[in-house]
Amino acid sequence: MISDILTAGVFASMIRLATPYLFASIGEMFGQRSGVLNLGVDGIMLMGAFFSFYAVLTTGSLLAGVVVAIIVGLVLGLAMAFVSVTLKAEQGISGIGLYLFGLGMSELLFQKWVGTPQSVSGFPRIYFPLLTDIPVIGQIFFNHNLLVYVAFALVPISAYVLNKTAFGLSIRAVGQNPQAADAMGVNVNRVRYTTVMIGGVLASMAGASLSIALLDVFQQNITGGLGFIAVALVYFGRWKPYGVLVGALLFSFVNALQLQVSAIGIEIPTEFAVMAPYVITIIALVFASRQTEKPDALTKPFERGES
Amino acid sequence: MVFRRFLSRTLDVFPPLIALIAGLLVASLLLIALNANPLDAYQSLWNGAFGSENAAAETLVKAIPMLFVAIGICVAFRGGVVNIGGEGQMIAGAVVGVAAALALGNANAAGWVIITLALLSGFVAGAVYAGIAGVLKAYFNVNEILSTIMLNQIAVQLMNYLLNGVLLDPSEAGSNHIPKTARIVEWAELPRLSFTLSDGVELFGRTRLHWGLLLALILAVLIYVLLWRTTIGYRIRAVGANERAARYAGISDKRQVVLAMLLAGGCAGLAGVVQVLGLQYRLQTDGSASGFTAGAGFNGIVVALFGGLNPLGAIPASVFFGGLLVGAQKMQRDLGIPASMITAINGLIVVFVVSSQIFVTWRSKRRALSATVAVAAPPVAQLETQP
């Protein structure tokens, strides 16, 4: 029974399905570490998913898809940064606005430019000589597309950037105590613009990973609220890259199990399977709620001379 | 805190006006980009929303659930709780409300008994469902935005489960059924609403407009009075305006947070049960996230913000956004502009409303500054040399 469920295939899907979570959560973590809560991740994901899909559909070039996703992420990240950093708007609500915008806009453009559901040929699986042929291990770890590996590579890279570079120090300082950072000569707003735009690019890539690497289609609301789970994962992971990794793997494991359980015909109502990640998110938020690692300045816009 | 400062100034008519103009501007650019003449589009939108008696009635029908939700959002946001859970709370209210109406209908209860108890149970169900997020925020420090969003998704799945199971219309059994409940008894329906004008003409006589509109208007007044004329409302607003000060004044902030969520969820729950009793006469969905609510739980947030977080302001705002949604259908038929454009524009309006707060803040800062200057009265020359 258990061996029917926990197959190598499940662990392979777990690795694969962690991709959008990792992109979106690592990006969101940068913003939050600098004090900006971007709740519009899901909207940016939807826009990234649509535009990269559309680029691949029309040009046939995966590179074009990625480039377009990055541009979309930069633009929407810039917009979010402008709203939350320069205009100092309430971050939770403006994020919901950005989400609604992305939800409506991606559907509008899809209906107008594409119309009927169709698939694209997305990122192919990479074949590693020898490694892919190792039984079980090869299937689980060495049989994925490029974006999967990029997403996992983001974890050590972001840990390095945050903890070992001057830029990472600025991010943490700005998120903990912007007044002190400002006094030390750090340009608080510039740091926040940068982190929110990094977050935008990664959220957009998270969407692209759905539409041109994992599912190879676009449909209305393709993310199904995945972006919001990604925001919650940052809390769950206590604002640390490896914590986020654990959370992303936990969720993708639940998703993979869900697929496997219905594939081998175990009678669990689909509704409960679909519900599971959301229930787990709430439970995870309760356990992550001591939040001693939470950046002190999270959601607080910076004003010189105020504390 | 920023949110509290934002609250105290939202009453200003300024931000909604800026947001509206900016929204129209972006919408026009978007329409041009989609090869449509903005003037034609707005003309079509207007005709679709208010061009005929039936159009106006449909606009009001669309406004009803959004107004209910928005009234609740006013309470929550005023209490400093960002309740994004309108969708889930609507569903909770509808599920429990329809179950109550069906059970009482089977027991042959009188119409007014069924309606009263169904509304009551819908309110309680929405309140309890929102209360989960309230308790989690107050006592477990769980971000309410995230928890309510998760609860929305959970509610959709629970509803789908129940509509495919115990609540399924008995005549729909079979593998290819539509997920819906049985029809409520006729005498439990909210009556249709029409007005007899002075010249004897009956307005809205043959439309779907129902008594839910009056209920929503009454609720708006009640909640307005509650928020600004009672100590309960004062406490909620005090916590929303300044949590720490309220605590020093002996007001339990935790309890107010839960109370604000209970009230907000109750209003959203009413939105759900009124949709059932007044319009659909059963609970039905296509299984998708907004299959039953049609997004009213989210749009209620837009309405509340646009109405200045005031239940009375939410009334015209709900008609406005109801008109947008209904008019968009006609715009889609006339010009081929997908109605989802309105979702995008709504999102932008939310962003614009919260963004334009800075202009208000900036104005009041200048006012505050000049007041300080008047008191301190430093030499003018010295002031002018300062940056």
Task: Give which of A199, A221, A231, A196 is closest to A49, Cα–Cα.
Answer: A221
Residue B387 in this model has a pLDDT that exceeds 80: no
Distance CA B138, CA B81 (A): 10
CB contact under 8 A, B141 and A289: yes
pLDDT in tens, chain A (307 residues): 667 777 888 999 999 999 999 999 999 999 999 999 999 999 999 999 999 999 999 999 999 999 999 999 999 999 999 999 998 888 888 999 999 999 999 999 999 999 888 999 999 998 888 888 888 888 889 989 999 999 999 999 999 999 999 999 999 999 999 999 999 999 999 999 999 999 999 999 999 999 999 999 999 889 988 999 999 899 888 899 999 999 999 989 988 988 887 777 777 778 888 888 899 889 988 887 766 678 888 888 888 765 5
B375 versus A207: the higher-pLDDT residue is: A207
Sort out which chain B residues have CB atoms less than 8 A from A283's CB and list them: none
CB contact under 8 A, A87 and B302: no
Residue B246 in this model has a pLDDT that exceeds 90: no
Contact yes or no for A252/A23 (Cβ under 8 A)? no
**Could you say which of B3, B165, B301 has the minimum Cβ distance to residue A96?**
B301
Would you say the ipTM is above 0.95?
no
Distance CA A298, CA A287 (A): 19
Residue type present at position B1: M
Local confidence band at B384 (pLDDT 50, 70, 90 cut-offs): very low
Q: Please give the radius of gyration of chain B, using alpha carbons only, rounded to the nearest integer.
A: 23
Kindly report the nearest CA distance between residue B214 and chain A, in angstroms: 29
pLDDT tens-digit series, residues B116-129: 999 999 999 999 99
Name the CA dihedral angle for B364, B367, B372, B375, rounded to a multiple of 10 degrees.
-150
Task: Give which of B310, B327, B318, B321 is closest to B347, Cα–Cα.
Answer: B321
**Could you say which of A93, A97, A272 has the minimum Cβ distance to residue B348?**
A97
Secondary element (H or E) of residue B195: strand B195-196
Kindly report the nearest CA distance between residue A106 and chain B, in angstroms: 9
Partner A contacted by B289 (CB < 8 A): yes
Secondary element (H or E) of residue B203: strand B202-203
List the beta bridge partners of residue B195.
B203
Least confident of A113-117, B156-160, B241-245, B363-367: B363-367
**Could you say which of B342, B350, B358 has the minimum Cβ distance to residue A96?**
B350
Task: Give which of A29, A306, A27, A31 is closest to A191, Cα–Cα.
Answer: A31
Distance CA A257, CA B290 (A): 26
**Mean pLDDT over each residue of chain B, to the nearest integer:** 87
Distance CA B154, CA B159 (A): 9
Structure-block tokens of residue B25: 């501007």
Contact yes or no for B114/B101 (Cβ under 8 A)? yes
Sort out which chain B residues have CB atoms less than 8 A from A87's CB and list them: 355-358
CB contact under 8 A, B343 and A43: no
Look at residue A142 and give its three-state secondary structure. Answer: coil
Secondary element (H or E) of residue B39: helix B38-50
How many beta-carbon pairs under 8 angstroms link A with B? 160
Partner A contacted by B350 (CB < 8 A): yes
Whole-structure pTM value: 0.88
Distance CA A162, CA A178 (A): 16
Least confident of A102-106, B147-151, B221-225, B370-374: B370-374
Residue B375 in this model has a pLDDT that exceeds 50: no
DSSP string computed for B251-317: --HHHHHHHHHHHHHHHHHHHHHHHIIIIISS-B--SSTTTTTTTHHHHHHHHHHHTTT-HHHHHHH
Distance CA A80, CA A99 (A): 11
Sort out which chain B residues have CB atoms less than 8 A from A83's CB and list them: 351, 354-355
* Half-sphere CA count of B223, side-chain side, radius 13 A: 34
CB contact under 8 A, B358 and A87: yes
CB contact under 8 A, B358 and A111: no
| Pick among B142, B152, B360 to test the A interface (most A CBs inside 10 A) | B142
Task: Give which of B227, B204, B193, B219 is closest to B66, Cα–Cα.
Answer: B219
CB contact under 8 A, A103 and B351: no
Distance CA B377, CA A269 (A): 73
Contact yes or no for B298/B87 (Cβ under 8 A)? yes
Q: Please give the radius of gyration of chain A, using alpha carbons only, rounded to the nearest integer.
A: 19
Local confidence band at B4 (pLDDT 50, 70, 90 cut-offs): low
Residue B354 in this model has a pLDDT that exceeds 50: yes
Local confidence band at B6 (pLDDT 50, 70, 90 cut-offs): low
Distance CA B102, CA B161 (A): 18
Residue type present at position B250: G
For residue B378, what pLDDT is reported?
A: 37
Percentage above 70 pLDDT, chain B: 87
- What phi and psi, each to the nearest 5 degrees, are found at residue B264? -60, -45
Cβ-based neighbours of A263, under 8 Å, separated by 6 or more: none
Residue type present at position A31: G
Q: Which of residues 18-37 of B touch A (CB under 8 A)?
A: 34
Residue with tokens 């972001």: A158
Task: Give which of B65, B64, B82 is closest to B73, Cα–Cα.
Answer: B82
For residue B288, what pLDDT is reported?
A: 82
For residue B13, what pLDDT is reported?
A: 58
Query: Which residue from A minimizes the CA distance to B305?
Result: A93
CB contact under 8 A, B357 and A104: no
Task: Give which of A187, A167, A237 is closest to A24, Cα–Cα.
Answer: A237
Secondary element (H or E) of residue A9: helix A8-33
Sort out which chain B residues have CB atoms less than 8 A from A281's CB and list them: 146, 150
Sort out which chain A residues have CB atoms less than 8 A from B140's CB and list them: 286, 289
Contact yes or no for B170/B102 (Cβ under 8 A)? no
**Could you say which of B140, B164, B348 has the minimum Cβ distance to residue A101?**
B348
| Residue B373: DSSP 8-state | H
Distance CA B78, CA B72 (A): 10
Task: Give which of A255, A231, A284, A225 is closest to A15, Cα–Cα.
Answer: A255
